[in-house]
Amino acid sequence: MGKKPSRKKSLNVLLEQSFQKHWDRPALSNYNQKTLYYKDLAQKIAELHLFFESCGLKPGDRIAVCSRNQVNWGVAYLAAMTYGAVVVPILHEFQPVNIRHLVLHSESRIFFVGDNIWSNMAEMDLPGVEVVVTLTDFKVVRSINPEAETCLEGLEERMRQRYPDGFAKEHLRYYVDQPEQLALISYTSGTSGFSKGVMIPYRALVSNVQFAHEAEPHMDCNSRMVSMLPTAHMYGMIFEFLFEMTIGAHVFFLTRLPSPKIILEAMGSVKPDTIISVPLVIEKIYKSMLVPFISKGRIKLMLNLPVLDKMVKNKIRENLIQAFGGKFGEVIIGGAPFNREAEAFFKRINFPFTIGYGMTECAPIITYVHWDKTKLYSCGKAAPRMKIKIDSDNPKKIPGEVLVKGDNVFLGYYKNELATREAFVDGWFHTGDMGIVDGDGYLYLKGRCKSMILGPSGQNIYPEEIESILNNMPYVVESLVIEDDFKLVGLVYPDFEQAQEDGLDREQLLAKLNEAKELTNLELDQYCKLNSVEIVDQEFEKTPKRSIKRYLYQREVNVQ
């Protein structure tokens, strides 16, 4: 007789208990649209379970889900997981041909897809995929399984047959998962290569959900969350969706492109209890709202006078908190490096924000501390159930690769044994990130191993640090520092709109950017000064978490 599965450590049991406890509370909403209550969510999940049965689906089979953030994405995801299937969340921003590749690579049997995505894929061959279902209305749009199509059309009758006295909370009995069991396959391109299928076990999801309970103890069934990050990405999936479902909170999906205006409008309306963000969102708000204000002559003067400085900072902090809804405990920022000038300003006004560090392979959290314990430019200390160490002879001063181990770490890369072997050495996962750790255990990231540039005398040059300065200069939207024939070049995507308003032609704009280069060099050591800047005409191509795909812009070094 095999050992009976434990319900205590099961994520699906946590979901089952949450749905039962919060049966009559709101669960999921598309912002400013109809709301699903937990009883509605449970009903839709039960209907999809009947559909999975008709497809002959078994625990461990793959189900792919791809669309913009929306309520039905959450329904399909939870239905797959609570059935025991392996979820394959795919970012909707991928090109259709890449989405097709990931669906096939994951060997998904069912594919839930947004209408706008399917319209660009309908003519594509999807061998091995038995059923394609649109997420707008859960309609079968392609099937090689007649029973599956018939089942979706007759779900109401099947539900009456299965539950003749009506569907109730007592009928919930979800698949009991085990810690080392594969829960989902998350595909990410990273910043240095092609997509890999990251195999996330249930223990990593449970550990991250538990971490959220520990980090945000004020959140409960009365809490509200605005989901603005892609739910296909681990950061948004765990902390804006899955954790909330285990505590009975109410999640509002932003179904449109989350511009600063839309985000602040939603924050003011929903008044979330915690805010999860990537640096890009906060930096845009900093540049559009705060920089113009604090750059005014009168305000700059006041910020240099001790008594008035405190008054102005308190006023800015109060207004910013109200702009974000006024109710949140802290803003948690992660996913990419944060602009150093913006970080220093938010720290100066005592704004309740913290910077964490994580990656898909850790589902995602690695380091974090509460906002009132942060240190400037650090991303916190090792999260519960996680260990970090620096591969360096002097980890407090000399950067080395960040190595991690613990409950959050993934199983390996799907169908890629070589990459899996290379990622683990003596049980430690090699993150590919460089950093140092101070005497208190705080981690300071210094860039990616593969983006590090070797200086003329063997110095380590971290382009992210140069970019952080250059990005604060006039007319610079974003930049990328590369090596070209042993010289440092700053590729700049400029603010063309502002340049046009100021009457600058391309030559004059380049002159302004060269001025920005000289100002940047004043803050840099001699060995890492920029030699030149170049204009790029389009925004840099990015990964799902909005990191620039550096490998696309590297140039070969000519060796004589």
CATH of the domain at 380: 3.40.50.12780
Residue ending a domain, choose from 449, 484, 503 = 449
In this predicted structure, the answer to whether residue 558 has a pLDDT above a threshold of 70 is no
346 within some domain: yes
Residue ending a domain, choose from 177, 206, 235 = 206
In this predicted structure, the answer to whether residue 4 has a pLDDT above a threshold of 90 is no
Residue 144 tokens read as: 């090689």
375 within some domain: yes
Average pLDDT over residues 107-125: 96
Indicate if 383 and 465 belong to the same structural domain.
no
Indicate if 42 and 116 belong to the same structural domain.
yes
- At 337-368, the pLDDT tens digits run 788 888 999 999 999 999 999 999 999 999 99
Region of poorest pLDDT, from 90-94, 296-300, 368-372: 296-300
Class of residue 361 by CB neighbours under 10 A (exposed 0-12, middle 13-18, buried 19+)? buried
236 within some domain: no
pLDDT: which is higher, 261 or 407: 407
365 within some domain: yes
Question: How does residue 220 score in pLDDT terms, banded at 50, 70 and 90?
Answer: very high
| Contact (Cβ atoms closer than 8 angstroms) between residue 332 and residue 277 | yes
| Residue 559 pLDDT | 37
| Contact (Cβ atoms closer than 8 angstroms) between residue 520 and residue 469 | yes
264 within some domain: no
In this predicted structure, the answer to whether residue 376 has a pLDDT above a threshold of 50 is yes
In this predicted structure, the answer to whether residue 138 has a pLDDT above a threshold of 80 is yes
| Residue 64 pLDDT | 98
Count up the domains in the chain and report the number: 3
Average pLDDT over residues 238-254: 97
Indicate if 54 and 180 belong to the same structural domain.
yes
Q: Give the 3-state secondary structure of residue 345.
A: helix
Average pLDDT over residues 492-509: 95
Tell me the CATH number at 479.
Answer: 3.30.300.30
Indicate if 49 and 161 belong to the same structural domain.
yes
| Residue 1 pLDDT | 40
| Contact (Cβ atoms closer than 8 angstroms) between residue 363 and residue 238 | yes
Give CA torsion, residues 277, 280, 282, 286, to 10 deg. 180
Residue 251 tokens read as: 């999640």
217 within some domain: no
Angle at 276 between CA 275 and CA 278, to 5 degrees: 130
Identify the helix (H) or strand (E) that includes residue 549.
none
| Residue 152 pLDDT | 77
d(CA 180, CA 412): 12
From 168, 185, 223, select the one nearest 77 (Cα to Cα). 185
Q: Give the 3-state secondary structure of residue 289.
A: helix
Question: How does residue 331 score in pLDDT terms, banded at 50, 70 and 90?
Answer: very high
Domain carrying residue 476: 456-552
| Residue 454 pLDDT | 73
pLDDT-above-90 percentage for the chain: 71
Indicate if 292 and 362 belong to the same structural domain.
yes
| Residue 357 pLDDT | 95
In this predicted structure, the answer to whether residue 260 has a pLDDT above a threshold of 90 is no
50 within some domain: yes
Class of residue 398 by CB neighbours under 10 A (exposed 0-12, middle 13-18, buried 19+)? exposed
Residue-wise burial string across 125-164, b where 16 or more C-beta atoms lie within 10 A, e elsewhere: ebeebbbbbbbeebebebbebeebbebbeebeebbeeeee
Q: What share of the chain is helix, strand, coil (3-state, %, to 5)?
A: 40, 25, 40
Determine if the peptide bond prior to 364 is cis (ω within 30°): yes
552's CB contacts (< 8 A; 6+ apart) are: 541
343's CB contacts (< 8 A; 6+ apart) are: 355, 376, 377
In this predicted structure, the answer to whether residue 447 has a pLDDT above a threshold of 60 is yes
Average pLDDT, the chain: 90
Indicate if 464 and 335 belong to the same structural domain.
no
Residue ending a domain, choose from 176, 206, 236 = 206
Query: Residue 7 CA to chain centroid, in angstroms?
Result: 29
Region of poorest pLDDT, from 100-114, 182-196, 215-229: 182-196
- At 17-42, the pLDDT tens digits run 999 999 999 999 999 888 999 999 99
Indicate if 17 and 154 belong to the same structural domain.
yes
Average pLDDT over residues 499-528: 93
Question: How does residue 456 score in pLDDT terms, banded at 50, 70 and 90?
Answer: low
Question: How does residue 560 score in pLDDT terms, banded at 50, 70 and 90?
Answer: very low
In this predicted structure, the answer to whether residue 191 has a pLDDT above a threshold of 70 is no
In this predicted structure, the answer to whether residue 212 has a pLDDT above a threshold of 90 is yes
pLDDT: which is higher, 114 or 457: 114
d(CA 358, CA 494): 30
d(CA 20, CA 95): 39
Indicate if 402 and 465 belong to the same structural domain.
no
| Residue 95 pLDDT | 80
d(CA 327, CA 318): 12
